[in-house]
């Protein structure tokens, strides 16, 4: 009887010891794994494609989930108003160019003529002034002689006529200079007009070039190969400049952002190769650490008396570039000590 009771007691103690050992092992192991595993969330390059011009969406060629290639047209904006403006400015430029050509010819002809006329008129004034000076000297001398009776009255009259003719010639020459100067002023006006026309042409051409750019932008194109993840407008919608049309995602440009506690941060380095495991424990991808944030993001563990520490354990973002089609934004992945290279 005693022996049977002893055996039962012994078996009970052994079972209790095994159970306590197993519990201790599980507790320690679980804690270790929890500390070792760091989880992150997948993300991918995704942008909104915005319209650079206002107008009406006349065609929307994609829907959510469609795969597109770089440069593929995904939507058309109505361009009829832009085409009308373009035709108007092209006609205006042609008219201005014709006006500019005419003004250039007139200016060129007048410029040569007026300068020649001015030179001739100025030379005529110089000669007429010289002739007048001589005639005035003779007139004064013969006026004295006729008063003294030294020469006949008719001789004096002849010199007086020469003086009057010389004076008239000088006045006429001066009038020629004034006329030439007026012509030069007209030439300056023609040149100013020509410059004004040239300025108008340049302004119209600048507007025309901008219209050409706007016409190109009526075709909304995919900036890279990707998948349409959102559609913001419908055909027929009136949109303003900057309105998003669709969102596009590049499934080959993806990464995982890990939130690493500061106590684990020393295990990570730039360009380090790592292996990530999905929540299904089957999906495995490799990647490269491309960025470790310099600024803390949040407290992973708050200070507690149980931890025996009065400070928070903060977290830093570690970006792992993966570029795998197995990743989908939002998926969770973990990295463990054994899976760091």
* 219-256 pLDDT, tens digit each: 999 999 999 999 999 999 999 999 999 999 998 899 99
- What pLDDT, on the 0 to 100 scale, is given for residue 29? 43
More confidently predicted of 333 and 115: 333
Q: Pick the closest to residue 233 from 15, 48, 71 (CA basis).
A: 48
Residues in the chain: 341
Domain boundary among 160, 185, 216: 216
C-beta of residue 70 within 8 angstroms of C-beta of residue 222: yes
Q: Residue 24 falls within a domain, yes or no? A: no
CATH number of the domain at 164, please: 1.10.287.470
Those residues whose C-beta lies under 8 Å from the C-beta of residue 314, and which sit 6 or more positions away, are 261, 262, 296, 297, 298, 299, 300
- What pLDDT, on the 0 to 100 scale, is given for residue 157? 86
The SS3 call for residue 138 is helix
More confidently predicted of 130 and 72: 72
Shared-domain flag, residues 251 and 311: yes
Residue 42: burial class (beta carbons within 10 Å; 0-12, 13-18, 19+): buried
Residues forming a β-bridge with 288: 273, 321
Shared-domain flag, residues 73 and 41: yes
Q: Pick the closest to residue 264 from 28, 25, 34 (CA basis).
A: 34
Shared-domain flag, residues 85 and 72: no
- What pLDDT, on the 0 to 100 scale, is given for residue 30? 42
Domain region containing 146: 80-216
Shared-domain flag, residues 151 and 96: yes
Those residues whose C-beta lies under 8 Å from the C-beta of residue 303, and which sit 6 or more positions away, are 309, 310, 311, 312
> What's the mean pLDDT in 272-292?
94
Rounded Cα gap, residues 11 and 298, in angstroms: 51
pTM: 0.59
Rounded Cα gap, residues 341 and 323, in angstroms: 18
**DSSP string covering 272-303:** -EEEEEETTS--EEEEEEEEE-SS--EEEE--
Shared-domain flag, residues 73 and 133: no
Contacts 24+ apart (CB under 8 A), 102-105: 103/190, 103/193, 103/194, 103/197, 104/194
Domain boundary among 216, 246, 272: 216
> What's the mean pLDDT in 2-12?
49
Q: How many domains does the chain fold into?
A: 2
CATH number of the domain at 302, please: 2.40.30.170
- What pLDDT, on the 0 to 100 scale, is given for residue 4? 53
Percentage of the chain lying above the pLDDT 90 cut: 47
**Which of the four pLDDT bands, split at 50, 70 and 90, describes residue 139?**
confident
Shared-domain flag, residues 207 and 244: no
More confidently predicted of 20 and 301: 301
Shared-domain flag, residues 167 and 236: no
Q: Residue 192 falls within a domain, yes or no? A: yes
Domain boundary among 166, 184, 216: 216
Q: Residue 21 falls within a domain, yes or no? A: no
- State residue 193 phi and psi, 5-degree precision: -65, -40
Shared-domain flag, residues 110 and 48: no
C-beta of residue 146 within 8 angstroms of C-beta of residue 123: no
> What's the mean pLDDT in 43-68?
96
Shared-domain flag, residues 41 and 141: no
Residues forming a β-bridge with 47: 248
Q: Terminal CA-to-CA distance of the chain, rounded, Å?
A: 62
């Amino acid at each position: 009887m005693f022996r049977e009771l002893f055996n039962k007691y012994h078996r009970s103690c052994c079972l209790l010891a095994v159970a306590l050992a197993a519990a201790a092992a599980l507790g320690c192991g679980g804690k270790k794994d929890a500390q070792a595993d760091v989880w992150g969330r997948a993300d991918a390059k995704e942008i909104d494609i915005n319209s650079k011009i206002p107008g009406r969406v006349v065609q929307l060629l994609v829907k959510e989930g469609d795969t597109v290639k770089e440069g593929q047209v995904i939507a058309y904006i109505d361009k009829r108003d832009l085409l009308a403006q373009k035709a108007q400015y092209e006609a205006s430029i042609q008219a201005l160019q014709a006006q500019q050509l005419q003004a250039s010819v007139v200016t060129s002809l007048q410029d040569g003529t007026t300068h020649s006329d001015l030179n001739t008129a100025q030379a005529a004034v110089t000669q007429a002034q010289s002739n007048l000076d001589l005639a005035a000297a003779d007139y004064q001398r013969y006026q004295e002689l006729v008063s003294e009776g030294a020469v006949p009255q008719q001789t004096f009259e002849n010199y007086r006529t020469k003086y009057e003719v010389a004076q008239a010639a000088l006045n006429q020459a001066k009038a020629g200079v004034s006329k030439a100067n007026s012509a030069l002023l007209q030439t300056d006006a023609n040149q100013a007009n020509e410059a004004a026309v040239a300025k108008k042409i340049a302004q119209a051409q600048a507007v025309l070039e901008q219209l050409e750019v706007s016409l190109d932008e009526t075709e909304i194109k995919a900036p890279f190969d990707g998948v349409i993840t959102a559609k913001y407008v419908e055909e027929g919608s009136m949109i303003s400049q900057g309105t998003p049309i669709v969102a596009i995602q590049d499934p080959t440009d993806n990464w995982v952002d890990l939130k690493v506690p500061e106590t684990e941060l020393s295990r990570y380095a730039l360009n380090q190769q790592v292996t990530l495991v999905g929540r299904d424990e089957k999906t495995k991808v490799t990647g490269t650490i491309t960025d470790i944030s310099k600024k803390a993001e949040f407290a992973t563990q708050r200070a507690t008396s149980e931890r025996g520490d009065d400070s928070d354990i903060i977290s830093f973002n570690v970006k792992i570039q993966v570029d795998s089609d197995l990743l989908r934004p939002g998926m969770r992945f973990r990295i463990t000590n054994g899976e760091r290279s």
